[in-house]
Structure 1
């Protein structure tokens, strides 16, 4: 049996949590909370502050509303030119999402549209996210969840619809991609699967030059190879091909999207010509 002192401590902690001090968890990048702690005060609006360039939000059993303030952890004149892109999970439901600017709300995403899993972007100066629970008799299956990224306005269109050049890249584009893209790897195409809106290219990598996130998984310490999947728009009609390629591209919401992908022998010839002319934008170890 608990002592009176210990029992009083547990009761105090419970009351504090009920008064919203223990409702939510956040690591400045991602946030997870439960609307069950709102049941007694469903009209409450909680403030959430996220300070990273990317992260996620998960609100279980939503009731009431939350305001999500998305800002980079450093402030500069370039901050005003940032855009916020969110990608709801395909199971996201239970809320409508608005933009809140000085108390004026503009609908961004309805509950019934969140399950499509499409990316939605808005300028960071357009306001915070106001996420309001839609009244339901049963909230036990309602979870609002999305990933977010802060991107420059220049990359906003690409975040909405990651693009892959269906036509071969120019020489300059190819050399620049090797220096600036999120991943660069030499390998071969194993298979191509056709999905609803894109092609998923399974690749085997023999040499990994760079990857922003864990796009390619290692085959093990003794096996110096990696495997992974890269997406391309269906309109590119990519097919399996023999030989080595140099895969480059961007990572959006944890997914790799193909950029320039020349045959490795063509890239090697181009790189060596540029090296002789001193026009390479960066060094690549081709040995």
Structure 2
């Protein structure tokens, strides 16, 4: 399978480009879930889905023919500059393409690279067009093609954005200003200790498992409370190149959450952070109030 091709060459998609092509509009959603088994087998209509939020997902069960997805969020500001797509780990039954300059570029199929995250800048209309083309299959009931999407800005942290930021910038230690801003703006702020650090050489990702004394903030539920021990635990990811090691003592972990994972930004020792924060508060230079 070629990585890119002209649109008219792709099976079924010539109908999308023709004024005589038929469309089945599926409405506007943050997330969408549907099944090809509900489609009229006699129709040649291609269903079109508009996803209009800053994050969400799509799940297409029993894929048949083709599905066109427009990521066209209703934005009240222009801070978002890119869309990131993460195909489901059990992606099956279709090929996922992105349209760029009237060409289709393959992002994922069931044989290659379904776990990878792909990020793209949005066009001047702040939209991205994707295509899901069903692959030939006999057992429709056992196939599901889908993905998660998130809108981001070019300053987002995390190794999935290394196309847009140098590794040196991602791994750069945070200075005092960075630390103070991180507790104000991060998706998660957690005080705790490091239980262990593991490294995945295939994905080039390190995982830091945390035992938390206090979860000050989290956007999703990465850190879970163990009712039996009364301890919050959760994993934080970072680039393998950052060479994270296990350290003793309490830290204040901050960072961003993407696709259900926490990505590390700043992690000062808690006592060092307290000193920095208290000094900034005396000088009234702290960007926000933080409950110590």
Q: Give me the whole-angstrom Cα distance separating, in 2, the residues matched to 1:239 and 1:160.
A: 22
Matched residue, 2:171: 166
C-alpha contact (below 8 Å) 1:215/1:256 kept by paired residues: yes
C-alpha contact (below 8 Å) 1:35/1:61 kept by paired residues: yes
| Secondary structure, aligned partner of 1:40 | coil
Matched residue, 1:253: 259
Q: CA deviation at 1:268?
A: 0.9
Task: Name the stretch that deviates more: 30-39 or 253-262.
Answer: 30-39
| Secondary structure, aligned partner of 2:29 | coil
Q: What is the alpha-carbon root mean square deviation over aligned residues?
A: 3.1
2:210 maps to which of 203, 211, 214: 203
Q: Give me the whole-angstrom Cα distance separating, in 2, the residues matched to 1:192 and 1:221.
A: 24
Pair 1:83-2:82 in alignment: yes
Q: CA deviation at 1:271?
A: 1.1
Per-residue CA deviations over 1:40-89 (Å, capped at 9, x if unaligned) read: 147431011222211111112211111112222x344628x542211012
C-alpha contact (below 8 Å) 1:43/1:65 kept by paired residues: no
C-alpha contact (below 8 Å) 1:89/1:114 kept by paired residues: no
TM-score w.r.t. structure 1 length?
0.79
Pair 1:118-2:123 in alignment: no
Matched residue, 2:291: 285
| Secondary structure, aligned partner of 2:156 | helix
Q: Give me the whole-angstrom Cα distance separating, in 1, the residues matched to 2:42 and 2:158.
A: 40
Q: Give me the whole-angstrom Cα distance separating, in 2, the residues matched to 1:268 and 1:93.
A: 49
Matched residue, 1:275: 281
Matched residue, 1:155: 156
C-alpha contact (below 8 Å) 1:187/1:205 kept by paired residues: yes
1:69-148 to structure 2, matched below 5 A, reads 69-72=70-73, 74-76=74-76, 78=78, 82-100=81-99, 104-111=102-109, 115-125=113-123, 127-148=128-149
Per-residue CA deviations over 1:225-245 (Å, capped at 9, x if unaligned) read: 411111121122222221100
Q: CA deviation at 1:114?
A: 5.2
Q: Give me the whole-angstrom Cα distance separating, in 1, the residues matched to 2:257 and 2:156.
A: 12
Q: Give me the whole-angstrom Cα distance separating, in 2, the residues matched to 1:207 and 1:76.
A: 34
Q: Give me the whole-angstrom Cα distance separating, in 2, the residues matched to 1:60 and 1:274.
A: 54
Count residues in correspondence.
Answer: 261
Q: Give me the whole-angstrom Cα distance separating, in 1, the residues matched to 2:229 and 2:137.
A: 54
Taking a change above 3 Å as real, the CA distance of residues 75 and 276 of structure 1, as seen in their structure-2 partners, is closer
Q: Give me the whole-angstrom Cα distance separating, in 2, the residues matched to 1:215 and 1:57.
A: 21
Taking a change above 3 Å as real, the CA distance of residues 150 and 240 of structure 1, as seen in their structure-2 partners, is same
Q: Give me the whole-angstrom Cα distance separating, in 2, the residues matched to 1:135 and 1:42.
A: 18
1:24-39 to structure 2, matched below 5 A, reads 28-38=29-39
1:191-230 to structure 2, matched below 5 A, reads 191-195=196-200, 196-197=202-203, 198-220=205-227, 223=230, 225-230=231-236
